[in-house]
């Protein structure tokens, strides 16, 4: 036998050659769900230590109150002159007089025409506006701080203290007001609001008509009416100046004193208006508006003045039942039934006579069922105290949304006009937070029980008497909206 070669011996020593291991691919990675984060509700952030400002208060030599909130962040100053002269000052039969008088202020003074007022305002980089309302009138000035502030205040003082109240301008403003009233007559919200005021307060009550009046009363107003009203009511004792911006008391007080300190104090005293007409049995007022496909519905109940001890519990009750998107009234009519794009409710703040109102535009054929559902939610609020979670949500909504009221000088000054408007102090917003936080579940339920009594409800509907509906398959039928309302069993007044 021939000897093996060294190469063959080496090969035999290694044994048979093994086949290479197969390469196994790793399992495919699970697809990434980029939307998975949406399933986790974001947690609340760390509570802010923010507190609303408290205004500094000082007086001019003639007793005019000044509320000042310093804000040196930008060289801007906002001034709001609030006059506590509203609808309660209108003589009987002259609804809209207080409103029209205020609107004439910036239509010319004894030294400036309306055009000159506009030009001077623009030259100074300022803005001047007049806004009358039911509780009073506000004359607003937004100006640059520093050397422009004095001349800007000259404009404000001229408009407020020296209006010309020209008869020609009165006619023009009257014409505009009448055109606005005519236009508003096609708006279900406006028609319902007018009907509510007349029914809630009474036709002869100062608040029985909107602050701007009606076509008959506005048309009858004369230049003498306006002049006499201004002389009687636009006096220093009715005025409060609210200021926010880059200024200090040391700078501001002499500027205001020079322009408003000589303004005379009047003798005319504010007369508190009488109480509204108490509904003793559920009443429904129907305002027919042919051709509408929706009805505007108001379910209202008696309220209270802003300074009432019942204000905060009632505000909590109103917020819980209708003040938030998640409140039962909206969740019922919008989210569950789909009859409305939004249904909300709450108390109207007033110096004298507030009220609760739940409001919604609903499918006309669902008008009566919508009223039934709103009343059901009001009665449920009275029957059961809110849970701790519901109560905290309402408190957070009321308190944590406040910061937006102080983002700018105009917002801040506007917020603090509520002090003279409602008879509150310069710490009204901190007091507001304390009041809201102090309401417990039992107090909120008790307020609901006092307010949402079925027999005291006043319901207003502005919409069509009948409406044609389509079932989506081409079949049309007519729904008698008014007949459905009659079936509710309430006393009905037709307008």
pLDDT for the residue numbered 15: 54
Query: Over the stretch 245-302, which tens digit does the pLDDT of each residue have?
Result: 999 999 999 999 999 999 999 999 988 888 998 899 999 999 999 999 999 999 999 9
Residues 292 and 433 in one domain: yes
Boundary of a domain, candidates 191, 225, 260:
260
Which residue did the predictor score with more confidence, 107 or 39? Answer: 107
Residues 249 and 297 in one domain: no
pLDDT for the residue numbered 4: 47
63 within a domain of the structure (yes/no): yes
142 within a domain of the structure (yes/no): yes
- What's the whole-number mean pLDDT along residues 30-50? 80
pLDDT for the residue numbered 306: 94
pLDDT for the residue numbered 20: 66
Query: Over the stretch 445-490, which tens digit does the pLDDT of each residue have?
Result: 999 999 999 999 999 999 999 999 887 788 889 999 999 999 999 9
pLDDT for the residue numbered 111: 93
Residues 90 and 209 in one domain: yes
273 within a domain of the structure (yes/no): no
d(CA 50, CA 211): 36
CATH of the domain at 157: 3.30.830.10
Boundary of a domain, candidates 225, 260, 295:
260
Residues 248 and 385 in one domain: no
Residues 164 and 299 in one domain: no
pLDDT for the residue numbered 1: 45
pLDDT for the residue numbered 175: 95
Task: Indicate the average pLDDT of the chain.
Answer: 93
- pLDDT level of residue 344 (50, 70, 90 thresholds): very high
Residues 315 and 455 in one domain: yes
The whole model's pTM is what? 0.87
Residues 237 and 288 in one domain: no
- What's the whole-number mean pLDDT along residues 149-155? 98
Q: Check pLDDT > 90 for residue 63.
A: yes
pLDDT for the residue numbered 38: 86
16 within a domain of the structure (yes/no): no
pLDDT for the residue numbered 5: 54
49 within a domain of the structure (yes/no): no
Boundary of a domain, candidates 225, 245, 260:
260
Residues 348 and 384 in one domain: yes
Per cent of the chain over pLDDT 70 is 95
Residues 324 and 241 in one domain: no
Residues 218 and 340 in one domain: no
Residues 238 and 305 in one domain: no
Query: Over the stretch 177-236, which tens digit does the pLDDT of each residue have?
Result: 999 999 999 999 999 999 999 999 998 899 999 999 999 999 999 999 999 999 999 999
- What's the whole-number mean pLDDT along residues 303-332? 96
Cα→Cα distances 62→12, 152, 229, 230, 481, Å: 122, 21, 21, 19, 59
Q: Check pLDDT > 60 for residue 394.
A: yes
Per cent of the chain over pLDDT 90 is 84
Our count of domains for the chain comes to 2
Q: Check pLDDT > 60 for residue 40.
A: yes
335 within a domain of the structure (yes/no): yes
137 within a domain of the structure (yes/no): yes
- What's the whole-number mean pLDDT along residues 146-158? 97
Residues 69 and 114 in one domain: yes
pLDDT for the residue numbered 50: 86
The residue segments making up the domain with residue 175 are: 56-260
44 within a domain of the structure (yes/no): no
- pLDDT level of residue 17 (50, 70, 90 thresholds): low
């Amino acid at each position: 036998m021939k000897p093996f070669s060294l190469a063959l011996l080496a090969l035999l020593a290694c044994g048979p050659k093994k086949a290479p291991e197969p390469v196994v691919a790793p399992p495919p990675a699970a697809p990434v769900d980029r939307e998975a984060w949406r399933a986790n509700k974001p947690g609340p952030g760390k509570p802010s230590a923010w507190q609303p400002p408290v205004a500094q208060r000082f007086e001019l030599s003639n007793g005019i109150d000044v509320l000042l909130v310093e804000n040196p962040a930008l060289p801007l100053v906002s001034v709001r002159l609030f006059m506590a002269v509203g609808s309660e000052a209108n003589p009987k039969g002259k609804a809209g007089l207080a409103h029209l008088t205020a609107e004439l202020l910036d239509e010319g003074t004894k030294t400036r025409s309306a055009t000159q007022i506009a030009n001077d305002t623009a030259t100074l980089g300022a803005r001047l506006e007049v806004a009358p309302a039911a509780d009073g009138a506000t004359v607003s000035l937004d100006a640059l701080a520093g050397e422009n502030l004095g001349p800007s205040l000259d404009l404000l003082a001229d408009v407020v203290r020296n209006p010309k109240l020209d008869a020609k301008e009165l006619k023009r403003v009257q014409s505009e007001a009448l055109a606005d009233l005519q236009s508003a007559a096609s708006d279900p919200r406006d028609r319902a609001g007018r009907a509510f005021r007349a029914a809630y307060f009474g036709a002869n009550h100062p608040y029985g008509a909107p602050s701007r009046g009606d076509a008959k009363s506005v048309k009858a107003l004369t230049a003498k009416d306006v002049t006499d009203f201004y002389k009687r009511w636009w006096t220093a004792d009715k005025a409060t100046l609210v200021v926010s911006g880059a200024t200090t008391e040391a700078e501001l007080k002499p500027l205001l004193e020079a322009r408003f300190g000589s303004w005379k104090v009047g003798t005319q005293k504010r007369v508190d208006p009488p109480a509204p007409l108490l509904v003793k049995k559920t009443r429904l007022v129907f305002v027919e508006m042919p051709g509408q496909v929706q009805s505007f519905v108001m379910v209202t109940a008696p309220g209270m003045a802003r300074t009432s001890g019942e204000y905060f519990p009632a505000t909590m009750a109103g917020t819980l039942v209708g003040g938030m998107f998640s409140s039962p009234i909206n969740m019922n009519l919008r989210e569950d039934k789909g009859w409305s794009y939004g249904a909300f409710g709450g108390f109207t703040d007033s110096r004298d006579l507030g009220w609760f109102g739940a409001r919604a535009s609903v499918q006309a054929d669902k008008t009566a069922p919508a009223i039934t559902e709103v009343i059901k939610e009001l009665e449920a609020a009275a029957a059961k105290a809110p849970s701790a979670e519901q109560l905290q949500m309402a408190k957070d909504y009321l308190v944590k949304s406040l910061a937006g009221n102080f983002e700018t000088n105009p917002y801040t000054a506007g917020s603090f006009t509520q002090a003279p408007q409602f008879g509150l102090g310069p710490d009204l917003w901190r007091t507001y937070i304390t009041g809201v936080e102090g309401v417990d579940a039992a107090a909120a339920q008790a307020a609901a029980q006092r307010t949402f009594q079925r027999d005291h409800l006043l319901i207003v509907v502005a919409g069509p008497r009948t409406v044609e509906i389509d079932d989506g398959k081409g079949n049309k039928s007519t729904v008698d909206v008014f007949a459905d309302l009659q079936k509710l069993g309430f006393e009905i007044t037709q307008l």
